[in-house]
């Protein structure tokens, strides 16, 4: 529906139920004489927080039908991936803000992608852990698959490190330890993530600039779309045939055995990826950089694990050797469960003395302290009461 006049905008507001009926009537009675065209009226409603800028954008572009998905009112667009988009949305049934992940409409008829999207929801709803993003609800409407997750404020660790530089040893180890705690919970539920990387580790409450004290930083694992469910004893193995022969994962962080056959990997593949992540947090680059996917894959298969100390001499020798163990080519030579990774990293996060001396509690040379503005994956509350409507002559 094209918004030819302000009355059309009011009709759209009634149909989408973004505002209460009495609010719409108040707009018609008190604002229409002053804002006869839809754009000026919409902009005023944004100004008084009755609409969000993104909702106004959808209305004015004639895409008003995209402002409601199932019981969720779309408030803002947070980002997109290869097969989905993520929105900040208001849950009208439970009265809370969520992050709503929606399978792109142009892909909804592709069975393999729809299955992968549903698989992510089925995987993550089995999980309930402080270091894993929570999922609340899932549904299917108007040809769209969606599921709702907790909405948090912060930024992923890839963006964070790119902006602030390599992290202090104890900070990097703490973030890796938290991620490993989440992986241990997933392991207990029979899940392998298969795409652990800094971009899928979301940092809530990043440290404040200039050493100011704030809430404790929390790392949460995102994006379980490639997760593999390992059947319990006695259960039949169900694998998606479409995964055979495909590269499942991200080339910078993928385990050698996952390159060979992603349908057979276990939690030790995620542990290898955690070794790559820890290397990145300490150096600002993955352990096997390259100019092509194939070049990176060959290094994961054949190149010996690099020493972190070549780029960060302040890293304790014992920690360097531990990261090399995580990056062992054979799964049998690595740490076998994430819980052992948690235990090994804990002493570095508490400031204890390692084999090579005291762990640094200050940033490495060149580490920036001024933090960027958080990504807008924000935890916000939609107002339960709206501001008093002001007519133009009252302002």
Residue burial 219-237, b: 16+ Cβ < 10 Å; e: rest: bbbbbbbbbbbeeeeeeee
* Token couple for 358: 């005291």
Question: What sections of 20-64 are H helices per DSSP?
Answer: 21-30, 38-47, 53-60
> Which range of residues forms the domain containing residue 117?
74-153+377-383
Higher pLDDT, 168 or 374: 168
pLDDT in tens, 131-184: 998 888 888 777 778 888 888 888 999 999 999 999 999 999 999 999 999 999
- 308 lies in some domain: yes
Average pLDDT over residues 9-30: 91
- 222 lies in some domain: yes
The confidence score (pLDDT) of residue 80 equals 73
- 325 lies in some domain: yes
- 364 lies in some domain: no
Question: Are 109 and 166 within one domain?
Answer: no
Average pLDDT over residues 117-137: 79
Question: Are 141 and 289 within one domain?
Answer: no
Q: How many CA atoms lie within 13 A of 230 on its CB side?
A: 17
Question: Are 161 and 280 within one domain?
Answer: yes
* CATH at 333: 1.10.510.10
Q: pLDDT band at residue 1, thresholds of 50, 70 and 90? A: low
Average pLDDT over residues 266-287: 96
The confidence score (pLDDT) of residue 234 equals 44
The confidence score (pLDDT) of residue 351 equals 47
The region of weakest confidence among 102-116, 227-241, 295-309, 335-349 is 227-241
Specify whether the backbone of 199 is left (phi greater than 0), alpha (psi in -120 to 50) or beta. alpha
Q: pLDDT band at residue 81, thresholds of 50, 70 and 90? A: low
The confidence score (pLDDT) of residue 243 equals 55
Which pTM was predicted?
A: 0.77
Average pLDDT over residues 320-341: 95
Contact (CB, 8 A) for 382 and 50: no
Considering the chain, what is the average pLDDT of its residues?
81
Final residue in a domain of this structure, among 14, 37, 66: 66
Final residue in a domain of this structure, among 66, 86, 114: 66
Question: Are 186 and 334 within one domain?
Answer: yes
Q: What is the DSSP letter of 304?
A: P
Question: Are 178 and 78 within one domain?
Answer: no
**pLDDT at residue 42 tops 50:** yes
H-helix or E-strand spanning residue 14: helix 6-16
| Long-range contacts (CB closer than 8 Å, 24 or more residues apart) made by 254-258 | 254/297, 254/300, 255/300, 255/331, 256/300, 256/301, 256/329, 257/331, 258/194
pLDDT in tens, 182-197: 999 999 988 899 999 9
- Residue 74 has a CB neighbour count (10 Å cut-off) of 22
Q: pLDDT band at residue 50, thresholds of 50, 70 and 90? A: very high
- 21 lies in some domain: yes
- 349 lies in some domain: yes
φ, ψ at 42 (rounded to 5°): -60, -40
Question: Are 205 and 180 within one domain?
Answer: yes
The region of weakest confidence among 107-121, 199-213, 277-291, 329-343 is 107-121
Higher pLDDT, 321 or 4: 321
Question: Are 62 and 89 within one domain?
Answer: no
The confidence score (pLDDT) of residue 110 equals 58
The confidence score (pLDDT) of residue 145 equals 81
Closest CA to 166 of 305, 375, 374, 360: 360
Question: Are 354 and 243 within one domain?
Answer: yes
Specify whether the backbone of 125 is left (phi greater than 0), alpha (psi in -120 to 50) or beta. alpha
Q: Can you state the angle between helices 338-349 and 267-283, rounded to 10 degrees?
A: 20
* CATH at 105: 3.30.200.20
- 2 lies in some domain: yes
Question: Are 174 and 278 within one domain?
Answer: yes
Contact (CB, 8 A) for 73 and 80: no
Q: pLDDT band at residue 332, thresholds of 50, 70 and 90? A: very high
| Number of domains the chain is built from | 3
How long a stretch of residues is the chain? 395
The confidence score (pLDDT) of residue 125 equals 75
Question: Are 93 and 107 within one domain?
Answer: yes
Question: Are 182 and 116 within one domain?
Answer: no
**Positions marked catalytic:** 195
pLDDT in tens, 210-222: 667 778 899 999 8
- 283 lies in some domain: yes
Question: Are 97 and 225 within one domain?
Answer: no
The confidence score (pLDDT) of residue 306 equals 95
The confidence score (pLDDT) of residue 272 equals 97
The confidence score (pLDDT) of residue 82 equals 61
């Amino acid at each position: 529906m094209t918004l030819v006049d302000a009355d059309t905008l009011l009709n759209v507001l009634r149909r989408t139920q973004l505002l209460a009926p009495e609010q719409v009537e108040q707009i018609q009675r008190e604002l229409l004489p002053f804002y006869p065209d839809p754009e000026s009226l919409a902009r005023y409603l944004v100004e008084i927080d009755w609409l969000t800028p993104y909702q106004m954008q959808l209305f004015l572009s004639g895409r008003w039908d995209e402002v409601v998905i199932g019981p969720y009112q779309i408030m803002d667009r947070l980002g997109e991936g290869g097969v989905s988009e993520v929105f900040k949305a208001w849950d009208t049934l439970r009265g809370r803000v969520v992050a709503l992940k929606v399978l792109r409409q142009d892909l909804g008829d592709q069975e393999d992608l729809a299955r992968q999207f549903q698989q992510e929801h089925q995987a993550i709803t089995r999980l309930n852990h402080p270091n894993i993003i929570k999922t609340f609800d899932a549904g299917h409407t108007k040809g769209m698959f969606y599921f709702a997750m907790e909405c948090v404020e912060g930024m992923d660790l890839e963006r964070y490190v790119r902006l602030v530089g390599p992290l202090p040893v104890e900070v990097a180890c703490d973030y890796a330890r938290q991620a490993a705690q989440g992986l241990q919970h997933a392991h207990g539920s029979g899940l392998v993530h298969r795409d652990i990387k800094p971009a899928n580790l979301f940092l809530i409450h990043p440290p404040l600039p200039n050493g100011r004290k704030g809430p404790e930083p929390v790392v949460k694992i995102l994006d379980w779309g490639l997760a593999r469910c390992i059947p319990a004893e006695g259960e039949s193995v169900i694998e998606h045939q479409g995964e055979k022969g495909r590269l499942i994962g991200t080339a910078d962080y993928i385990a050698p055995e996952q390159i060979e056959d992603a349908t057979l990997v276990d939690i030790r593949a995620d542990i290898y990826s955690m070794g790559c992540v820890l290397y990145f947090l300490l150096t600002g680059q993955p352990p096997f950089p390259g100019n092509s996917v194939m070049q990176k894959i060959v290094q994961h298969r054949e190149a010996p694990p690099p020493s972190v100390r070549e780029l960060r001499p302040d890293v304790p020798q014992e920690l360097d050797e531990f990261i090399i163990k995580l990056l062992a080519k054979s799964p049998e030579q690595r740490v076998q469960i994430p819980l052992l990774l948690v235990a090994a990293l804990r002493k570095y996060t508490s400031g204890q003395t390692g084999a090579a001396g005291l762990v640094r509690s200050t940033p490495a040379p060149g580490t920036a302290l001024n933090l960027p503005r958080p990504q807008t994956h924000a935890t916000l509350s939609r107002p339960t009461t709206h501001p008093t409507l002001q007519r133009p002559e009252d302002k």
